[in-house]
């Protein structure tokens, strides 16, 4: 479904992704872990189309399309969803308007009839219940004054409403208490299906207690330095990221845990 080959990207002349390879098949959940500054968020933003990052090499193919050539909104309409690490506050725009505009933009693209106000409300209220959001959040401005957990729930709500084919969660678990973490995990697990793929970017293995990944990758200095099964996440939890050297090479003897926190 998604083939990333030798992806290189930089911001303001500084190279961040330095030849990244990743292959995700439909139905799979991949976890990407790595220390701060390893390029996790850059990868997510590049896939979503952020033009602050310059792609300097490599390719990304998504369902036989050149993903990098697609405008941001085309990617979204075709079913790519990015759950933001820091969801943006938009004062003056109600969450209800925002969610409906987003859902209808995607539905229109897929040849589905746009929701009218009543249908939309029925749908959104059901999904809000599932993520434990009160109805009042529909009538507040997008993310404005939301707590960290409320913002993340709002991201999961959007993901559920937009029914993406490829969802990327960028540290959606960071700063969450255990209840909110379960909401995020539950949102992801409900979305799992043979047609969909998910990439879960996380610093901690904690989330992976609830979302069981098919593959775990370790990102360091802009490259994937190790891939493995679920047990790799547990190993990282135990040893921390200290065993990854400054230039991304893997030391044979792990250093004590917690070195790169």
Interface ranges with other proteins (CB under 8 A)? 48-50, 52, 71-73, 75-77, 81-82, 84, 87-88, 90-94, 97-98, 100-102, 105-106, 109, 117, 141, 158, 162
Compare residues 84 and 243 and give the one whose CB is closer to other proteins: 84
Q: Which residues of 73-107 are buried (b: 16+ CB within 10 A; e: fewer)?
A: eebbbbbbbbbbbebeeeeeebbbebbbebbbebb
Least distance from other proteins to the Cβ atom of residue 48, Å:
5
| Cα distance between residue 229 and residue 216, in whole Å | 6
| Cα distance between residue 171 and residue 164, in whole Å | 18
Compare residues 94 and 174 and give the one whose CB is closer to other proteins: 94
Least distance from other proteins to the Cβ atom of residue 55, Å:
16
Give the torsion sign (CA, 88, 2, 38, 188). positive
Collect all residues with Cβ–Cβ distance below 8 Å to 259 and sequence separation of at least 6: 240, 241, 242
Least distance from other proteins to the Cβ atom of residue 258, Å:
32
Query: How is residue 45 written in tokens?
Result: 């933003």
Least distance from other proteins to the Cβ atom of residue 16, Å:
17
| Cα distance between residue 178 and residue 72, in whole Å | 33
Compare residues 81 and 241 and give the one whose CB is closer to other proteins: 81
Asked if residues 218 and 236 have their Cβ atoms less than 8 Å apart, the reply is: yes
Compare residues 5 and 94 and give the one whose CB is closer to other proteins: 94
Compare residues 102 and 130 and give the one whose CB is closer to other proteins: 102
| Cα distance between residue 229 and residue 240, in whole Å | 17
Helices (H), 88-210: 95-109, 117-131, 148-162, 178-191
Compare residues 128 and 224 and give the one whose CB is closer to other proteins: 128
């Amino acid at each position: 479904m998604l083939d990333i080959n030798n992806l290189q990207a930089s911001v303001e002349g500084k190279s961040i992704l330095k030849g990244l390879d990743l292959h995700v098949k439909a139905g799979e959940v991949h976890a990407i872990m790595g220390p701060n500054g390893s390029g996790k968020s850059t990868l997510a933003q590049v896939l979503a189309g952020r033009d602050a990052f310059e792609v300097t090499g490599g390719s990304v193919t998504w369902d036989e399309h050149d993903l990098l050539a697609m405008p941001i909104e085309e990617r979204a309409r075709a079913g790519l969803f990015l759950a933001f690490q820091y969801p943006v506050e938009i004062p003056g725009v109600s969450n209800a308007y925002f969610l409906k505009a987003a859902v209808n933009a995607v539905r229109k693209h897929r040849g589905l009839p746009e929701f009218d106000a009543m249908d939309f409300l029925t749908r959104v209220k059901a999904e809000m219940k599932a993520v434990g959001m009160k109805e009042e959040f529909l009538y507040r401005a997008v993310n404005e004054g939301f707590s960290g957990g409320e913002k993340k729930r709002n991201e999961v709500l959007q993901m559920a409403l937009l029914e993406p084919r490829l969802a990327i969660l960028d540290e959606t678990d960071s700063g969450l208490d255990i209840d909110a973490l379960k909401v995020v995990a539950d949102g992801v697990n409900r979305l799992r299906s043979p047609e969909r793929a998910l990439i879960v970017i996380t610093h901690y293995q904690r989330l992976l207690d609830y979302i069981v990944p098919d593959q775990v990758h370790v990102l360091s200095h802009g490259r994937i330095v190790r891939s493995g099964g679920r047990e790799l996440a547990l190993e990282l939890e135990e040893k921390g990221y200290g065993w990854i050297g400054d230039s991304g090479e893997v030391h044979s003897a792990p250093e004590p845990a917690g070195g790169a926190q």
